[in-house]
Amino acid sequence: MAAFFGEAEGSQCDDLAAETNCHTGTCKTPEPFTLANPELNRGACAFLIWNSIATTHAMLKNYNAALSASGVAVTANQETFMKTFAPTSLDLSELFGLLLSLIPVPLSSGISGFLSIDMMQRAFKKASSDPSAMQDKVTGLIDTAESIGKEKLLAAAKNPENVSVSTIYSKLIDNWKSQIDLLIAAIFKGDDISLGVLENLFSGGMMIDGKADAETIASNHTASWAMQRNLERAFYAAAIPAAWTANGPAPVIVDFGPGCEIDARKYFGTVDPDRYNVGWRCINNNSFILAGVRDICQEICLPNNSGDQGTCTGSYQWTLNVLPGIDSIPDKIPEGGTANWAGVTVSDLLWGVGLNTFFANQAKNIMDPSQLMTNTRDIAGEYKANKMDIRKPGLIRIPVCDAEEAKANLAKGQDSYGDSANYPCNP
């Protein structure tokens, strides 16, 4: 292909190596038209098609670099992260579940948002352009990406090896980068499917530079930093609920029904309301609490008033509980403070993550991360104020049910309940 367009052979546009020959070209004098070999005829503007290929390669290469940078950033915080959200001893099988839940991030939640910021904000796009017009053009590329992400997830799930806290990050980042390797090889494969993807991307001259009639976009450095922060945001949005599950007190969104004034004390045992209200939100005049569960007996001892040893009872043994680290992801940052965990908040997890996914699944708890819910994609809405929309359905799954349903299943104990990922909601 490079030779046909008059570019350097061995361009390596299907390679993410630091140095390749996949660069944009300039207008060339066309060779004389020939009827003998019509497949070799190309016009003076053929270089623009090649430049579209080179631009697509550069975009994915930039994404891969941001992915690597975000991997370095989240790995540097792994010890603090685990101490915050999973402070007790961890079940290695649950840690493997944490790894699986994070595998789809770059090619499900990340790729569509990345394309939005990199393509929609190009300087030659009019500020008033309708972004929805771009949606159909990139759908093929995103579908290809998501299918690779799902295949990686399903392949990993077949090998439930034990993983430790120290190895989970390296495995994850290597997996993420290998997905981008597969993606760039797939779209430049040259078969009918990949050519169709490229045709959609290039149609209408979308990838051809033109007059800069919009405000100049941020520098490459700034854009790369924003992309990196968004990937970290997607990482932590997926990692926090998964770490809670691995830690033991599986997260659940409890629906306390209509009204913004509730009394949930009987569901939390002796936990003070000031503590569990950190996870409470009133949404559309309906109260929800993001909580954990207590699966062990909590002894309650009566005061010794008669000279004997007093009595202790094992009440409140299976109740809702406060999730570790939930106070580190508030919706509002105190004045002078700094957002933790890439700015993920309780409301992001409760409203955006849990409820949006729940209602998109017709009020059913579907916890399988391989079901990426691509039918709900909104490319134009992926980025808002340069911040990834982690509230879209399907990115993270937290079970949702009413308080009595959760209480009834907690009373059974998890051993009697079974192994459904919906715990403590109905299987």
How far apart CA 384 and CA 44 sit, in angstroms, is 40
Handedness of CA 322, 323, 325, 330 (dihedral sign): negative
- At residue 262, the pLDDT reads 93
Give the CA distances from residue 216 to residues 63, 86, 121, 212, in Å, rounded to whole numbers and listed in that order. 20, 44, 9, 8
Looking at residue 18, what is its pLDDT?
62
**What's the confidence (pLDDT) of residue 128?**
39
Cα angle: 411, vertex 414, 420; to 5 degrees:
120
Judge contact between 323 and 329, C-beta under 8 A: no
Taking only the tens of pLDDT, the chain with its 427 residues reads 666 666 667 677 766 666 676 777 766 655 655 566 656 566 666 777 777 778 777 777 777 777 777 777 777 777 788 788 877 755 555 555 555 556 656 555 555 555 544 444 443 343 334 444 444 555 555 566 556 655 655 565 555 554 455 555 556 666 666 766 777 777 777 778 777 777 776 766 666 654 333 343 334 445 555 666 777 887 788 778 878 877 766 789 999 999 999 999 999 988 899 999 999 999 889 999 999 987 655 455 555 554 455 555 544 556 899 999 999 999 988 888 888 888 899 999 987 666 888 887 877 887 765 564 444 444 444 444 455 667 777 666 789 999 999 988 888 877 777 778 788 899 8
| Cα atoms in the 13 Å half-sphere on the side-chain side of 59 | 24
Instruction: Provide the pLDDT for residue 255.
Output: 95
Q: What is the pLDDT of residue 377?
A: 45
Domain boundaries, the chain: 39-243, 249-417
Q: What integer pLDDT is reported at residue 261 of this predicted model?
A: 93
pTM: predicted TM-score of the whole model, two decimal places: 0.68
By C-alpha distance, which of 410, 416, 377 is closest to 393? 377
